[in-house]
Structure 1
């Protein structure tokens, strides 16, 4: 059984490779369930798929220096931008698929933490439109 340990994910938001700041990137996609149960279904619920949606969740190590994370993300607030995520930083392939699409930058939490904590930023961005999986 193949197994993998994530040690070098690739994350690009709005044309910015953010690997040096990224602790975690999670892409989740789902389909709404629509209940189409009718009286002839013999007491069993019938479901079909509806609209698809997704979320890109990230945890970043904050950096306020010029041209670093905060200066990249702050101007994007409220915008729909492109994203790309891959399991590794290698080129996309059958064993390293890339997922691309658009996300709404709906939040930014520039300062968070307690005394002694590393400065991190946790965000969750909804996808806008189709998420595409490619192997080349």
Structure 2
């Protein structure tokens, strides 16, 4: 990816797309350094990696009135944990994405008279920050059972995990329900798919995150698949996944 100007950054909170109400998103990650300097360190400070952490800080224009708006979503999430996905450019299938399971730690609103009403907030990680891709875009409504585009992420070595975040952004119809899962296969055709991670059935906007158990996966291709039930159901959702 060449150098670029931030024009269409995407921010998905558990069950809300905050992109249209955001004008600044900052993603940071660090590993704590622990001093292990001793007499055999050749006169140099010696450190090893300690605890890792990640943080998402966002701000933008305040809106309220339904669960998709930043005020409603922020109040419902404050003090709770959920999945968050940040895309530097866009959220099309295969786009670069960063996903994390984190705690919504703060929410701030208000400014001086005459100013556009702002908001700001912070999420701090409870799981590792994962660099991955978008497996399902937010702008396609799904009304029937199906599967998404295959992504070639490569194998998962022993000790690492496949992580996936599901953001259900809207649900319509009578008793609509969607149950999503992440499948893998050794080829793009998915002739023998294997379920690697499964999400609980969702009937309303919200977010879920899942990860594998740390065992090696020799398959190289991954996709999201879903079962939809109900009377005239329709769902808008986004899925991100990656290996760490």
The answer to whether the superposition gives a TM-score over 0.5 is yes
* Structure 1 unaligned regions, length at least 5: none
Determine whether 1:8 maps to 2:8.
Answer: yes
- Equivalent residue number for residue 89 of structure 1: 90
Larger Rg: 2
Contact map agreement 1:92 1:134 (CA 8 A) in 2: no
Spell out structure 1 runs of 4+ moving beyond 4 A: none
Deviation at 1:57, TM superposition (A): 0.5
Structure 2 distance, partners of 1:88, 1:15, is: 20
SS in 2 for 1:107: strand
TM-score, with structure 1 as normaliser? 0.89
| CA displacement at 1:92 relative to structure 2 | 4.9
**Distance verdict in 2 for CA 1:91–1:105, change over 3 Å:** same
Higher helix share: 1
TM, length-normalised to structure 2: 0.51
Deviation at 1:3, TM superposition (A): 1.3
* Structure with the larger strand share: 2
Q: Which residue of 1 aligns with 2:58?
A: 58
Aligned to 1:78: 79
Alignment: residue pair count? 133
Q: Find out whether 1:41 has 2:25 as its counterpart.
A: no
Say if 2:107 and 2:122, in contact at 8 Å, map to a contact too: no
Partner of 1:100: 99
In the alignment, structure 2 segments of 5+ residues that lack a partner are 134-150, 152-244
